[in-house]
Amino acid sequence: MEPSSRSALDVLGCRDCPKDRAAFVPTEAAVRCPACSVVWPLGPHDAVNSLTQPAESVVREIDGMRSENPSRYPTRDSFLFQCVERVSRFEDRIAGEANAAKNYYESTALNFRYAYDKLKITGSERVLEIGAEHDFPFLKPFRENGCDCYATNLFFCYEATRPPGAQVVLGDMNRLPYRNEMFDVVVASATSHHSPDLPGLLAELARVTRPSGYLLLLNDPTSGAFKHALDRFGFGTQLGGSRHDLVNENEYSVAAYRRLAKTAGFAITESFFPVYYDQKLRSGNVRGVRFAPLAKLVSLAWRIAPLRWILQKTALYPAQMLIGLELNMILRKRNMMEAIQRN
Ligand SMILES: [Zn+2]
């Protein structure tokens, strides 16, 4: 194991072992839990593979993604570690031809940037991103500030000679391979809706987040009462879009997110209006967005600053509940003192 990866040994943890037990120890091309003796093999760039006994939902997700590219990933193992000539860069996707995918990536980046700017990062933080894009674009500003960065996903797409820019740990978001309260910031973009168990996921995210640490839940679709009402006329978006059936595509209501986050121990710092739609509505050019006629109408009011302010404050939650506008939330884990004062 490279010296740079050694600090990961203190962070790793199997969930059922006690919080105060000793750190993982390196063995031959693997790391081992001293309490229960579970062994997680090391892959390229010292990526840790904790998916040795994957849960059913993980196997489904992996097989679904494999089925979208059947010739590329003949076996599950070939999917976990994907060596490529060039990892696809987020900048390239945004710079690409104008299409729905480009809009999507641009939109996720705008929302991330909005949330990142609220955090006031000092550089001493330990940061985890779950379900990151191939080149970890949302870890980049943290890394450039000097933060210690971790990335957990179901696969690792890498170049043989290019360091990935984060300590990679393949793992299940519903059963994170980390000790309690290890991270100052946890980022999950377009990821939480892939969990089959939202209450369990939020409890798990709270478990690995430090008291007063932040959780960014970004770019998740939500369920809306009328979201799929026009699907059969070709106006809406099918649940999960064009993804393979095995991929876990769920939609949870924003009410469920809010309630479950609070139950798990988070306070909602901010739930914000998608930045991309804000820009679209300000410009009045709403071509290509869902519910375009409605958006056109809203944009008339949106361009009047005081009306926009009122709508941003009051219309986000109803829009999420009715048409499933995406979720973007900055959550902060309550610390013990706050919890005691509340009770
Ligand atoms: Zn253990």
Domains of the chain, start order: 46-221+231-268+331-342 (3.40.50.150), 275-325 (no CATH)
C-alpha 31/C-alpha 238 separation (Å) is 42
| Full 3-state SS string of the chain | CCHHHCCHHHHECCCCCCCCCCCCEEECCEEECCCCCCEEEECHHHCEECCCCCCHHHHHHHHHHHHCCCCCCCCHHHHHEEECCCCCCHHHHHHCCCCHHHHHHHHHHHHHHHHHHHHCCCCCCEEEEECCCCCCCCCHHHHHCCCEEEEECCCEEECCCCCCCCEEEECECCECCECCCCEEEEEEECCHHHCCCHHHHHHHHHHHEEEEEEEEEEEECECCCCCCCCHHHCCCCCCCCCCCCCCCCCCECHHHHHHHHHHHCEEEEEECCCHHHHHHHHHCCCCCCCCHHHHHHHHHHHCCHHHHHHHHHHCHHHHHHHHCCCEEEEEEECCHHHHHHHC
In this prediction, residue 264 has a pLDDT band, given cuts at 50, 70 and 90, of very high
Contact between 93 and 101 (Cβ < 8 Å): yes
How far away, in angstroms, is 253 Cα from ligand 1 center? 35
**Per-residue model confidence (pLDDT) at position 93:** 80
In this prediction, residue 307 has a pLDDT band, given cuts at 50, 70 and 90, of very high
In this prediction, residue 77 has a pLDDT band, given cuts at 50, 70 and 90, of confident
How far away, in angstroms, is 190 Cα from ligand 1 center? 30
How far away, in angstroms, is 316 Cα from ligand 1 center? 43
Mean pLDDT of 59-85: 88
Lowest mean pLDDT among 101-110, 114-123, 197-206, 214-223: 101-110
Angle formed at CA 9 by CA 132 and CA 123, multiple of 5 degrees: 55
The tens digit of pLDDT for each residue in 18-32 reads: 766 778 999 989 999
More reliable by pLDDT, 7 or 118: 118
More reliable by pLDDT, 285 or 247: 285
In this prediction, residue 339 has a pLDDT band, given cuts at 50, 70 and 90, of low
pLDDT at 99 > cutoff 80: no
pLDDT at 10 > cutoff 90: no
C-alpha 108/C-alpha 116 separation (Å) is 12
Bridge-based pairing state of the strands 327-333 and 266-271: antiparallel
**Per-residue model confidence (pLDDT) at position 29:** 92
Tell me the pLDDT of the chain averaged across its residues.
88
pLDDT at 304 > cutoff 90: yes
Alpha-carbon distance values, 256 to 193, 197, 198 (Å):
12, 12, 8
In this prediction, residue 172 has a pLDDT band, given cuts at 50, 70 and 90, of very high
How far away, in angstroms, is 342 Cα from ligand 1 center? 34
How far away, in angstroms, is 23 Cα from ligand 1 center? 10
**Per-residue model confidence (pLDDT) at position 179:** 92
More reliable by pLDDT, 240 or 74: 74
- The gap from C-alpha 217 to its chain's centroid, in whole angstroms, comes to 6
Mean pLDDT of 102-106: 85
**Per-residue model confidence (pLDDT) at position 238:** 56
**Per-residue model confidence (pLDDT) at position 229:** 65
Q: What percent of the chain has pLDDT over 70?
A: 92
Q: Which of 187, 141, 128 is nearest to 328 (CA)?
A: 187
Lowest mean pLDDT among 32-36, 148-152, 286-290: 286-290
How far away, in angstroms, is 284 Cα from ligand 1 center? 55
In this prediction, residue 341 has a pLDDT band, given cuts at 50, 70 and 90, of low
Mean pLDDT of 46-74: 90
How far away, in angstroms, is 108 Cα from ligand 1 center? 36
How far away, in angstroms, is 128 Cα from ligand 1 center? 20
- For helices 292-302 and 305-314, angle between their N-to-C axes, nearest 10 degrees: 130
pLDDT at 336 > cutoff 80: no
How far away, in angstroms, is 20 Cα from ligand 1 center? 11
pLDDT at 237 > cutoff 60: no
In this prediction, residue 100 has a pLDDT band, given cuts at 50, 70 and 90, of confident
Mean pLDDT of 68-77: 86
pLDDT at 159 > cutoff 80: yes
pLDDT at 225 > cutoff 80: no
Please state the pTM of the whole predicted model. Answer: 0.92
Bridge-based pairing state of the strands 81-83 and 156-158: parallel
How far away, in angstroms, is 204 Cα from ligand 1 center? 17
How far away, in angstroms, is 152 Cα from ligand 1 center? 18
